């Protein structure tokens, strides 16, 4: 993801301000908007997870909703009918299941490139969709209810009551901050640089000694596990899972969030989720044909802001990329040049 020397406002003040607003939000707005904010954060984590492979890895996946929905189904299947499940058991199980399936799909899909990779991931996603749609073990096309939200109980003490929207919001906020931290660390690590290098030029990255397939597979697996983390909390929020959670449409929505927010940063897709879901909220309340208008706005954003809505920030504060240098500004080294007989 592109690096440039950003101003301290961008690196420190702005994130601190956003965090302060996020922490204060539940005390400032009605409960409906707290639930809306939780939904934005959850889908934002899904979009950020997807962006690890799309933005950093250059691999457009259309099966990330399958990992998202699968984790939700793991929670639904592990939950007792009327009693709450243990968060300590079901959360790792859901994330590991999503990561394991991502590992298997990635191991096969990453042998292809470009449009073929897109088609293979789409096919795997649809396979999982139809597995849950047609099989009876998880409620078939009707889906399954999670009647009691999972709880965190340690030594008989109930530490978290996820039934309370306020508690749920803060848990999801903590998960989002954790996801941002993890992804930032990954992107800035040699692993992240190698992933970006493979995206820019796979052959050159391999010639530098990077095992590209393994690096991409690790990224795909981590991304799938993180999508599963988002799916787990989505299932808790809605109290219900349905095959549509795994479908390609949900994958495409996450991809649109990535495109709106911009591929080049970790948090861009989170902003993309806020913009897309916020747009839907406003348009739904105003227009009957809101999807048509939403589509036109999304097309306009993608055409006018190819780097996503985050592109508006440097325009707003007047930051600009430095121009490429010219070789006539490169001074020769003071060290002695070889006697080549010419300059």
Partner 1 sequence: MTALLQAERLEAFYGASQILHGIDLTVARGEQIALIGRNGMGKTTLLRSLMGLVPACRGQRLLHGDDIAGAQPDAIARRGVALVPEGRGVFGALTVVENLIMAARPGRDGRATWTLPRIFELFPRLAERRGHGGHQLSGGEQQMLTIGRALMTNPELLLIDEATEGLAPLVAQEIWRTLGVIRREGVATIVVDKDFRSLSAIADRMVMLAKGVVVFDGPPAKLAAQPELLERHLGV
Binding site for partner 1 (CB under 8 A): 1-5, 190, 193-194, 196-197, 199-201, 203-212, 264, 321-333, 335-343
Cβ burial 177-189 (10 Å sphere, 16+ → b, else e): eebbebbeebbee
Task: Please answer whether residues 246 and 125 qualify as being in contact, where contact means their C-beta atoms are separated by less than 8 angstroms.
Answer: yes
What is the C-alpha to C-alpha distance for residues 68 and 48, in angstroms, rounded to an integer?
12
Q: Least separation, in Å, of the C-beta of 311 and partner 1?
A: 15
Using the minimum distance from each CB to partner 1, give the nearer residue, 39 or 193: 193
Task: Please answer whether residues 86 and 153 qualify as being in contact, where contact means their C-beta atoms are separated by less than 8 angstroms.
Answer: yes
Q: Which residues are 86's β-sheet partners?
A: 151
What is the C-alpha to C-alpha distance for residues 64 and 47, in angstroms, rounded to an integer?
9
Q: Least separation, in Å, of the C-beta of 298 and partner 1?
A: 25
Helix axes 212-238, 87-109, angle to 10 degrees: 140
Using the minimum distance from each CB to partner 1, give the nearer residue, 204 or 284: 204
Q: Least separation, in Å, of the C-beta of 113 and partner 1?
A: 15
Q: Least separation, in Å, of the C-beta of 178 and partner 1?
A: 24
Q: How far is CA 221 from the centre of its chain?
A: 13
Cβ burial 37-47 (10 Å sphere, 16+ → b, else e): bbbbbbbbbbb
Using the minimum distance from each CB to partner 1, give the nearer residue, 289 or 333: 333
Using the minimum distance from each CB to partner 1, give the nearer residue, 30 or 341: 341
Using the minimum distance from each CB to partner 1, give the nearer residue, 57 or 139: 57
Q: Least separation, in Å, of the C-beta of 183 and partner 1?
A: 16
Q: Least separation, in Å, of the C-beta of 295 and partner 1?
A: 30
Beta-carbon neighbour count of residue 209 at 10 Å?
A: 7
Using the minimum distance from each CB to partner 1, give the nearer residue, 157 or 207: 207
């Amino acid at each position: 993801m592109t690096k440039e020397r950003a101003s301290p406002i961008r690196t420190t003040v702005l994130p601190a301000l956003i965090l302060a607003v996020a922490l204060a939000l539940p005390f400032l707005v009605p409960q409906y908007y707290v639930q809306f904010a939780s939904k934005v954060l959850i889908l934002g984590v899904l979009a950020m997870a997807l962006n690890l492979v799309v933005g950093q890895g250059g691999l457009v996946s259309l099966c990330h909703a399958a990992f998202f929905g699968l984790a939700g189904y793991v929670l639904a299947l592990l939950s007792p009918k009327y009693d709450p499940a243990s968060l300590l058991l079901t959360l790792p199980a859901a994330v590991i299941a999503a990561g394991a399936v991502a590992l298997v799909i990635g191991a096969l899909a990453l042998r292809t490139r470009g449009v073929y990779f897109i088609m293979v991931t789409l096919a795997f996603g649809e396979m999982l969709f139809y597995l849950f749609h047609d099989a009876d073990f998880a409620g078939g096309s009707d889906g399954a209810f999670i009647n009691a939200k999972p709880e965190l109980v340690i030594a008989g003490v109930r530490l978290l009551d996820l039934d309370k929207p306020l508690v749920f919001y803060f848990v999801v906020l903590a998960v989002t901050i954790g996801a941002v931290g993890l992804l930032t660390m990954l992107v800035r690590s040699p692993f992240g640089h190698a992933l970006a290098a493979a995206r820019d030029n796979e052959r050159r990255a391999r010639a530098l000694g990077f095992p590209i397939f393994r690096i991409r597979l690790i990224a795909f697996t981590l991304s799938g596990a993180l999508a599963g983390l988002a799916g787990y909390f989505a299932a808790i929020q809605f109290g219900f899972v349905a095959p549509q959670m795994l479908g390609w449409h949900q994958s495409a929505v996450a991809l649109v969030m990535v495109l709106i927010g911009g591929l080049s940063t970790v948090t861009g897709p989170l902003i993309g989720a806020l913009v897309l879901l916020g747009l839907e909220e406003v348009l739904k309340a105003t227009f009957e044909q809101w999807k048509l208008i939403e589509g036109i706005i999304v097309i306009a954003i993608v055409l006018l802001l190819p780097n996503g809505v985050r592109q508006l920030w440097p325009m707003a504060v007047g930051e600009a990329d430095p121009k490429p240098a010219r070789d006539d500004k490169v001074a020769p080294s003071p060290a002695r040049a070889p006697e080549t007989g010419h300059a």
